[in-house]
Structure 1
Amino acid sequence: MTSKTILTCAVTGNLMTPELNPHLPVTPTQIAEQALDAAKAGASIVHLHVRDPKTAKGSMDLEFYREMVGRIRDKNEDIILNLTTGEGGRFVPSLDDPKVAAPGSTLCAPEKRVAHIEELRPEICTLDFNTMWSGQASVINAPWNLEKMAGLIYGANVKPEIEIFDSGDLHMAKDFLARGIIKKPLMVQIVLGVRFGAVANSQTMVYLVSQLPTGTQWAAFGIGKTAFPMLAQAFLLGGHVRIGMEDTAYIRKGEHCTSNAQLVEKGISIIDSLGGAIATPNEARSILGIPASRVA
């Protein structure tokens, strides 16, 4: 393999909890600090959510995003920022009347889901193509809402990372590509091991990779105990990789990780042991077709 491997660090997510790992970053300051440390450890990209500091639950608050991004950019202009647009897609049906949203629902207009992208203009943001059951909620990404989000993302000069949770998601992404709603070359993240999504094993990854459009830059990752095995498998198949406290609470069986940087260091050591090398942020920009200097 001649091309370098892009390593994304997924810093906090929205489903991991401090109860599962007491070292999980929650406040904008904590998330920014762990992102900066992950960059120092060698991550090419940091994938970022924000949380409500009072509840530790995922948030869409623009002020939290402004603070987190500002703290990162004050100290590091090189690391590539990848902000989520996944918040705002959850619907919990009421037990008494399933068409009525129960507490925990976040489903909202697509414009709200990308408001922070339009203002802050990171290099990358996620665009989730999944509609599925997740935990105690359904995740709903209606095609017409994804079309609106894609238009706004491209309008902000941001590259969408297409998130694929199962084979049907990939079929829809290919339809979007055929209709010109998303553009080649694609950047695709294959998500494995989410309950009721694609299974985290080699056979599933090989199949999904075999169906990607030509020229796609892709990565894949696994949840929980599959995080490091799927990191190695993605590299061996020629893809990019992801690791972070969004995806796993443990550095090894029975031992909590203490930081995202610790996970990044282990991920890099695996890639190194397999004969690979991690891309710097500028090398990752070149691979993904992101300009080295961007005009807002």
Structure 2
Amino acid sequence: MATTAIQDIPVIIEVAINGITTPEINPHVPLTAEAIGADALACLDGGAAIIHTHNFDISLTGADAAGPYIEAMGPVLAARPDALWYPTLTSGGDHQARNAHLPLIAAEVPLRMGVVDPGSTNIGTAGPDGLPVGGTYRNDYADIRASFEMCRDHQWGPALAIYEPGFLQCVLSYHRAGRLPAGSIAKLYFGGEWGLTRRSRGVTFGLSPTKHALLAYLDMLEGTDIPWSVSVWGGDLMATPVARLALELGGHLHVGIEEFYDPDRSPTNQELLAEAVALCARVGRPVATSAETADMLGLP
């Protein structure tokens, strides 16, 4: 049976352009609708295949949440009808409220991808004594099922946020049951030294961005056909061994201001994207377009 050489597999580059990042963390973060739209278009022009964005307030739900996304991404999709993008879940309300804005967005702006956060994890920073304090980002099995069902019902390919190995175990359960929606991609998030909050060093989550951590995830994925990408929360993906190794092993890249942090550097999304494109060239793999990505993922 013929196999595809790694050099013939285009790299899907996703850019997460803002997230919960504040201007204090990175002054280049786009937060207004105009800035989000301009940044998204610039990244698509620079080689990004997928754009992931938040609006200015993750706690908004329903129409209040949908409106800013439509305002920001409507012009982008009008200019680039083949562009792939997806919003995030909201932080307010129950699992129905957290997803309620997504169909409202899709009614106004083309949307081929959804989002599933298939698990829970602690998010914190260092307290006065240096020990972790914070809260729990919670997605129980009912929340997860609701997100998967929404993706299935609307024919959206889910972007699977894998913060911890247990998140991937949940995804594999859906895969074994034949219930993983078409178009799924597992985003393997590694915990950088500054963690999700990027407010203190040493309080992080999940697996560190090392060779063996990536290989452990790939052991779990062995025997599946689930595409995967790598990212580092609270660090610099390109400064770790994970980025190049992922490309050498057939994986993809997830970059952007949402996750990046270096106390001595505040790059733009375009700069982070350019670094990813350059690494692809050094490894000898082409960069996928949005249209190629849709085919590769098998998006409905």
For residues 70-118 of structure 1, what are the alpha-carbon distances to aligned partners after superposition, in whole Å with 9 as ceiling and x for unaligned?
1321322122112222x32xxxxxxxxxxxxxxxxx4x22122222322
For residues 182-207 of structure 1, what are the alpha-carbon distances to aligned partners after superposition, in whole Å with 9 as ceiling and x for unaligned?
24664211111141222221111110
* Residue in structure 2 matched with residue 217 of structure 1 by the alignment: 227
CA contact (8 A) 2:185 2:297 kept: yes
Q: 1:184 to 1:26 in 2, by over 3 A?
A: closer
1:204 to 213, 216, 232: 213
Q: Distance in 1 between matches of 2:60 and 2:214?
A: 31
Q: Distance in 2 between matches of 1:29 and 1:162?
A: 27
* Residue in structure 2 matched with residue 69 of structure 1 by the alignment: 73
* Residue in structure 1 matched with residue 259 of structure 2 by the alignment: 247
1:79 to 78, 83, 88: 83
2:273 to 241, 264, 286: 264
Q: What SS does structure 2 have at the residue aligned with 1:9? A: strand
2:164 to 160, 163, 166: 166
Gaps of 5+ in 2: 1-5, 125-133, 196-203
Q: Which amino acid aligns with 1:159?
A: G
* Residue in structure 1 matched with residue 112 of structure 2 by the alignment: 123
Residue identity (%):
22
* Residue in structure 2 matched with residue 20 of structure 1 by the alignment: 25
Q: What SS does structure 1 have at the residue aligned with 2:160? A: strand
2:244 to 227, 232, 235: 232
Q: Which amino acid aligns with 1:288?
A: L
Q: Tell me how far 1:290 sits from its aligned partner.
A: 2.0
Q: Tell me how far 1:125 sits from its aligned partner.
A: 1.8
CA contact (8 A) 1:127 1:161 kept: yes
Q: Distance in 2 between matches of 1:68 and 1:279?
A: 24
1:6 to 12, 15, 18: 12
1:285 to 277, 294, 297: 294
Q: Tell me how far 1:286 sits from its aligned partner.
A: 0.9
CA contact (8 A) 1:220 1:234 kept: yes
Q: CA RMSD in A?
A: 1.9
Q: Which amino acid aligns with 1:11?
A: I
CA contact (8 A) 2:11 2:285 kept: yes
Gaps of 5+ in 1: 89-105, 292-296
Residue-pair matches, total: 264
Query: TM-score w.r.t. structure 1 length?
Result: 0.83
Q: Distance in 2 between matches of 1:196 and 1:70?
A: 35
* Residue in structure 1 matched with residue 130 of structure 2 by the alignment: none
Q: What SS does structure 2 have at the residue aligned with 1:81? A: strand
* Residue in structure 1 matched with residue 129 of structure 2 by the alignment: none
Q: Distance in 2 between matches of 1:12 and 1:21?
A: 9
Q: Which amino acid aligns with 2:11?
A: T
Q: Distance in 2 between matches of 1:47 and 1:274?
A: 25
181-190 or 1-10, larger mean C-alpha shift = 181-190
Query: TM-score w.r.t. structure 2 length?
Result: 0.82
Q: Distance in 1 between matches of 2:290 and 2:43?
A: 12
* Residue in structure 2 matched with residue 99 of structure 1 by the alignment: none
Q: Distance in 1 between matches of 2:180 and 2:285?
A: 30
Q: 1:270 to 1:139 in 2, by over 3 A?
A: same
Q: 1:224 to 1:148 in 2, by over 3 A?
A: closer
